[in-house]
Amino acid sequence: MASHVTENPKEGAEIHHGSSECKKHLIQILKENSLPTGLLPFGDDDVLELGYNRKVGYLWLNQKKKRKHFFPKIGRWIEYDEKVTAYLESHRMRRISGVSAKEFMLTLGAGEMYVDDPVEGKVHVKTNIGLSRVFPASAFQIDEEEK
């Protein structure tokens, strides 16, 4: 029988603390992966820790409390748990946990999302149960004055 060795995705990661420091690094990480910079919005004092392992693409975000964010361009509330995790690669977030939205009166977790190339295209979001939606990438982009 084969044994599986699971690497700790946090091992060797860069870790940041404090909301302003975390926000700056999160925007940089999303840009590096050709993802809209507003996919994971948070308030000025919400974030406790941001970690990113570039080798495996593992990202985690620890917040003080669960929060909701309204994206006006798509008319939807998205809920972010105290801990949000995902694996990032170019134009894609997969194995997402801690992000959900109401759809057909059900709360559905986002499992994966990818962005058409270039970033100005569409964001395709697939839930953990296989439902998917397509949104304009501009709905998840941070305006320059918000940075």
Q: How confident is the model at residue 2 (pLDDT cuts 50, 70, 90)?
A: very low
Tell me the whole-structure pTM to 2 decimals: 0.85
Domain assignment present for 33: yes
Residue 103 lies in a domain: yes
Give the CATH number of the domain where residue 70 resides.
2.30.240
Side-chain-side CA neighbours of residue 134 (13 Å): 5
Q: 145 pLDDT band (50/70/90 cuts)?
A: very low
pLDDT of residue 6: 52
HEC profile of the chain: CCCCCCCCCCCCCEEEECHHHHHHHHHHHHHHCCCCCCCCCCCCCCEEEEEEECCCCEEEEEECCCEEEEECCCCEEEEEEEEEEEEEECCEEEEEEEEEEEECCEEEEEEEEEECCCCCCEEEEEECCCCEEEEEHHHHCCCHHHC
Question: Is residue 119 one of the residues assigned to a domain?
Answer: yes
**Structural domain includes residue 147:** no
Q: Tell me: the pLDDT tens digits for 25-41? A: 999 999 999 999 999 98
Domain count across the chain: 1
Q: Is residue 91 part of a domain?
A: yes
pLDDT in tens, 88-135: 999 999 999 999 988 766 778 888 998 987 667 899 999 888 888 899
> What band does 144 get if pLDDT is binned at 50, 70 and 90?
low
Q: Residue 99 belongs to what domain range? A: 14-142
6 within some domain: no
- Asked if residue 48 is part of any domain, the answer here is yes
Residue 58 lies in a domain: yes
Those residues with Cβ within 8 angstroms of residue 134's Cβ, 6 or more apart along the chain or in another chain? 122, 123, 124, 125
